[in-house]
Structure 1
Amino acid sequence: MTKPDNSAREIAADVAAGRTSAVEIASAALGRIEAAKSLNAVVTTDPSRTLADAAAVDDRLRAGNAMPLAGVPIVVKDNIWTGGWRVTQGSRLFADFVAPQDAIAIERLRKAGAVVVGMGATSEFASKGVTTSPLFGPTRHPLDPTLTPGGSSGGPATAVAAGLVPLAIGTDAGGSSRRPPAHVGVAGFKPSYGAIPYGPGFAEPFFGLSVIAPIATEVADIALAFEAMADVDPRDPDSAGIAQTADDPAGLRIAFSPRLGLDVAVDEVVAEGIASAVARLAATGLCITQRDPVWPAGATEDAIMPLQHAGLAALHGDTFRRDPAAFDPDIAGQIKRGLSWSGADVAGALVASAAIANAFAAFFTDTDLLLAPTVPCVSWPFTQLGPDTIGGRTASPRAHAVFTSFVNHARLPAISIPCGVDGNGLPFGLQIIARRGQDRTLLRAARQIEAQLQA
């Protein structure tokens, strides 16, 4: 498999300078995708459309247009509307759906010169912690094909980690674009809720939580993509402005929480790797103190999961009643549970969600950044929903996801960057979390932390 030699920034510079063309870059990316079919990271390609779009970018450059992402090939998660492309959500129900228009984020990326080269695999309705679907089967880890990259943005994350493209676009409603990057050794950014407009697109089961999330090998490429996509748009009533400036990391108050203040298991190699990375950062002069968020009683992922189940049931419950076999069995189980929740159950989950957001808000009154694990373990067999054990304890199917979903409920920005590997070379990630609206400060700090960890 031939990997791209350049970052998204370098590709854009080369295309803009005429050292190569968008068509040449797109053709090479399509060749890498074809050669890596066994990974099942990219589930739909349309070479003629891709090459026509690339040619249009070259024409725009010749006409004098400046584009910060000129010719950069991107993979888009298979639940984000990309006009003219088949977008399936990994579901048999949408196997033939063709998006009638671009989501605002994709529209902006194309305006910036990016070229869509494929749709990245997702679990059905992006609602599962491994990337496998009834339509396309399992996506495999680029370092070990017997393992999963996690989910639900496993296709985009794997496409970047395998070198198929330098940049991919996922979604994140509970960690879907932070955990897979952590498992495959790349970076994944969850912006503040509303920082990047969401939609037009499919109805969302994750009400008020899901965001568009760039994934790349370098934080600088994530920042470039974020700047192309961010800003208010009247078509999305939840889109919101964020701070325009980025504070110097040297002056930030940084906390480290080894388990995010939760009574959860973490594999020893991950715990030691995270602690070692934080110690290295502190040695560079960053002001880091160990401190945990204080959560309300009963704050667990189980307390908020009724929102996902009820959302799926609201959207697909009627179809499930008619034909439950149409769904991934794990998704069918979630829909069935969603149909069983009472209104009081769902309201209770909303109360829990608000309490989690308030706890995070209190934490960030005197803290600027929070360092924590992205995942408590490395990847596991793709045939399982989660690892059998974590930290020596028997693990529930969602125990691998304990460190990410609270961030979504607080609508905060967070990024995962590579932090270390276990004895088999399997990666894990460091999660950096900031106050809502401080996306640019977070990205600036993440670039510095990335450089220090790579030194």
Structure 2
Amino acid sequence: MTPCLRAAAIAEAVRAGRSGARAETEATLARIAAGNPALNAFVTVDEDRALAEAEAVDRRLAAGERPPLAGVPVAVKDTIWVAGRRVTQGSRLFADFHAPADAIAVERLRRGGAIIVGMANSSEFACKGVTTNPLFGPTRHPRDPSLTPGGSSGGPAAAVAGGLVPLALGTDAGGSSRRPPAHVGAVGFKPSFGAIPYGPGFPEPFTGIAVMAPIAADVADAALMFEALCGPDPRDPDSVAVAAADSRPSESLTVAYSPRFGLDAPVDEEVRQAVDRAVEALERAGARIVRHDPSWPPGVTETALMPLQHAGLAALYGDAFRRDPALFDPDIAAQIDRGLSLTGAEVAAAQLLGVEIARMLAAFFIDADLLIGPTTPCVAWPLDRLGPETIGGQAVPPRAHAVFTPLFNHAKGPALSLPCGTGRDGLPVGLQVVAPRGLDRRVLRFAAFAETVLAAGGQGHSG
């Protein structure tokens, strides 16, 4: 696999004059041309526009500016508005749509000196746990093209892990930018809800929990990107400021380890062992680990929350579905059809469950500073399936791979997936680090500590 790039190193070289934004963009475009056909991570690349943006950054540098992301090439998920670019959501309904404005996060990327080189593949409407859609087909795993990187941000994750770009901007409403990074060996960071302003852009089927999510090769780059993007904006009434970095060292934090996050869910033995080894390494390095499971409302499962997504899809696209169901990915069509059949009481029950999840996790953090456990219960699986057929030796439904991420969206706090070892055939495993809402920098700081510990012990990612 192509070695992963580092954004901080690129930006430092460009600011120091050892490289230039145009030179970095040309090199990136060459890597995409060579590597993307095997991955299908990028769905559109606008070389002329990217080079023009790079030349504008070089002019800023010549005028004395020193932006934090100077000359860093970035992939943007094909659901996020980039002004003038074709942005499709992987849907035939938007096959010819060109965004009229930048999302605030994209605006901030540009202000930081980053170069938007192209749009990265997503499942249709970002509503599937694998990355394939009717317009562009599947994204493939960088280590094994017969496997999926997961979804919905599989294109951005594969672009980073495959060495095409150092940074990508994804979205996350249920784990979409944590599970794919876990599967491919990258870092995926879901900030607190509102930490990075959302929109302008397409309406979200899953309202009130979706976030913009940095994906990077290491924690330092994810933090660099987050700092360039975070902070309130009056155009997003949900946007908020987050707390300053902790003054306490990571070793002094009380870190609760929960092997299944308190859920009755199967986990593959190889994943359990990789996460256990990572936790043991953290303990040896001085981390204060306690075994403690969070409590959840009775009957909590991802399935119990899915009426919100299904109803949201039905509200947005139900009329188009009624006119021509064949326009949609069959799996998305089934979700819309389900949404059209739901009662108001069923949707309200899912909303109330989300509120109770947030309340109970907040209570859990009274006695713990952080919560860690597996990002996913399995490694990547074959490209032609929605999910693995078995996990932990048990037959499971297609969404069983997604069980450990959605609850933290509903809790609205930060969660990060960090490579922590490998399982079958050397496939990556992710460690998920979670904190209360607003303590994003606590997660990033502890993850950087953990990354150093795991790298010293031969664990973590090799990009």
TM range (shorter): over 0.9
| Pairing 1:366–2:367 present | yes
2:15 corresponds to which residue?
16
SS at match of 2:336: helix
Query: Which residue does the alignment assign to 2:460?
Result: none
- Deviation string 1:256-299 (CA, Å, 9 cap, x unpaired) is 00000000000000011101110110111111100000111111
Name the SS of the counterpart of 1:132 in structure 2: coil
CA distance in 2 between counterparts of 1:48 and 1:8 reads: 22
CA contact (8 A) 2:182 2:429 kept: yes
Pairing 1:44-443 to 2, within 5 Å after superposition: 44-247=44-247, 248-443=249-444
- Conserved 8 A contact 1:12-1:72: yes
The Cα offsets for residues 24-82 of structure 1, whole Å up to 9 and x where unpaired, read as: 10011111111122210000000000000000000000011120000000000000001
Please give the secondary structure, in 1, of the residue aligned with 2:378.
coil
Q: Distance in 2 between matches of 1:165 and 1:316?
A: 33
C-alpha deviation, 1:3, in angstroms: 4.9
Tell me the amino acid that sits aligned with residue 331 of structure 1.
I
Distance, in Å, in 2 between the alignment partners of 1:73 and 1:99 is 20
- Mapped to 2, the partners of 1:8 and 1:353 lie a distance apart of 36
* Counterpart AA for 1:359: M
Q: Which amino acid in the other structure matches residue 90 of structure 2?
A: G
Rounded to whole Å, the distance in 2 between the matches of 1:69 and 1:205 is 31
Contact 2:167 2:221 in 1 (8 A): yes
Describe the SS at the equivalent of 1:74: strand
* Local SS of the residue matching 1:133: coil
Q: Distance in 1 between matches of 2:56 and 2:138?
A: 34
Render the CA deviation track for 1:76-116: whole Å, top value 9, x for unaligned: 00000011111100001101111111100010011000001
Question: Which whole-Å CA distance do the structure 2 matches of 1:116 and 1:286 have between them?
Answer: 38
Contact 1:3–1:164 (Cα < 8 Å) also in 2: no
Moved more, 29-38 or 409-418: 29-38
Counterpart-to-counterpart distance in 2, 1:289 and 1:277: 14
Q: TM-score, normalised to structure 2's length?
A: 0.97
Query: What is the SS of the residue equivalent to 1:379?
Result: coil
Tell me which amino acid in the other structure corresponds to 1:285.
G
Report how far residue 17 of structure 1 moved. Answer: 1.1
Is 2:376–2:404's contact at 8 Å kept on the other side of the alignment? yes
By how many angstroms is 1:245 displaced? 2.6
8 Å CA contact 2:2–2:162 kept in 1: the answer is no
SS of the residue corresponding to residue 424 of structure 2 reads coil
> Contact 1:261–1:292 (CA<8 Å) still a contact in 2?
yes
Query: CA separation in 2, counterparts of 1:139 and 1:395?
Result: 23
Determine if contact 1:156/1:170 at 8 Å carries over to the other structure: yes
User: For residue 176 of structure 2, what is the amino acid of its counterpart?
Assistant: S
SS at match of 1:43: strand
Aligned residue for 1:34?
33
Post-superposition shift, 1:179?
0.2
Number of corresponding residues: 454
Q: Displacement of 1:390 after TM fit?
A: 0.4
CA contact (8 A) 1:364 1:435 kept: yes
Q: Distance in 2 between matches of 1:375 and 1:2?
A: 24
Q: Deviations over 1:351-373 (max 9, x none)?
A: 11111111111101111100110
Q: Using the alignment, how far apart are the partners of 1:395 and 1:110 within structure 2? A: 43
Amino acid at match of 2:239: S
**SS state at 1:119 partner:** strand
Q: In 2, Cα distance between the equivalents of 1:426 and 1:139?
A: 17
- Percent of aligned pairs with the same amino acid: 63
Gaps of 5+ in 1: none
Amino acid at match of 1:95: A
Between the aligned partners of 1:207 and 1:338, the Cα distance in structure 2 is 14
Q: 1:453 corresponds to which residue?
A: 454
Query: In the alignment, is the contact (CA less than 8 A) between 2:130 and 2:148 conserved in 1?
Result: yes
Q: Deviations over 1:406-439 (max 9, x none)?
A: 0000001000000111130111100000011000
CA distance in 1, matches of 2:443, 2:195: 13
Corresponding letter in the other structure for 1:214 = P
C-alpha separation between the residues in 2 aligned to 1:352 and 1:76? 32
Displacement of 1:134 in angstroms is 0.3
Matched AA of 1:22: A
Name 2:459's counterpart in structure 1: none
Q: What does the per-residue CA deviation read over 1:203-260, in whole Å, with 9 as the maximum and x for residues that have no partner?
A: 1111101100000111000000000000000000000111023342122111000000
Residues 304 and 352, structure 1, Cα contact 8 Å, conserved in 2: yes
Q: Secondary structure at the match of 1:137?
A: coil
Contact 2:53 2:115 in 1 (8 A): yes
The alpha carbon displacement at 1:2 in A equals: 6.0
Cα distance per residue 1:283-323 (max 9 Å; x no partner):
11111100000111111111110000000000000000001
Structure 2 CA distance, aligned partners of 1:441 and 1:173?
Answer: 21
Deviation above 4 Å: which 4+ runs of structure 1?
1-4
Structure 2 CA distance for aligned equivalents of residues 329 and 109 of structure 1: 35
* Alpha-carbon separation, structure 1, partners of 2:306 and 2:234: 30
Asked if 2 retains the 8 angstrom alpha-carbon contact of 1:3 and 1:32, the reply is no
The answer on whether the counterparts of 1:256 and 1:290 sit within 8 Å (CA) in structure 2 is yes
TM-score (norm 1): 0.99
